[in-house]
Amino acid sequence: MYELLFWRYQDGIYLNHHLVYEAIIEEQEVAGLEEIPVTVILNRINTLFSQWEKVDDNSWKNNKGKGAFQIKTTPQSIQIDCYGTEGKIMNQLVDALAEFNCPLYDPQVPERYDEMSE
């Protein structure tokens, strides 16, 4: 599994990314994060991956190739767990979230890919 996490800081707020990640994984609210349009984002992902089988409300499977992913949300974050998903597909997910000003935090590295990176 490869994790992708996305959130948006409030203006002028900049926190330790790994501590934010840990709080999100525990489904805790994080002071300093904005609420994001979760339903709109999920609709965008549905549109982008309309050719994939939607296994349930939060899971997609590629029936024409490798890969699957599952999405977990809080009002402040989107977590996408990728299973055997190719890099170009993960890039599509990253690009979709970038449309909503939610940069990627990659906990495997760990690094956040935004203009404020440490």
Task: Give residue-wise pLDDT tens across range 36-63.
Answer: 999 999 999 999 999 999 999 999 999 9
Asked whether the predicted pLDDT for residue 118 surpasses 70, the reply is no
Token readout for 39 is 């339903």
* Separation of CA 27 from chain center: 14
Asked whether the predicted pLDDT for residue 7 surpasses 90, the reply is yes
| pLDDT computed for residue 114 by the predictor | 85
Query: What is the C-alpha separation between 5 and 94, in angstroms, rounded?
Result: 9
Given a contact cutoff of 8 angstroms between Cβ atoms, the answer to whether 42 and 50 are in contact is no
Question: What torsion, rounded to 10 degrees, do the Cα atoms 108, 46, 101, 8 define?
Answer: -60
Given a contact cutoff of 8 angstroms between Cβ atoms, the answer to whether 37 and 62 are in contact is no
* Residue with the two structure tokens 């939610």: 102
pTM over 0.75, yes/no: yes
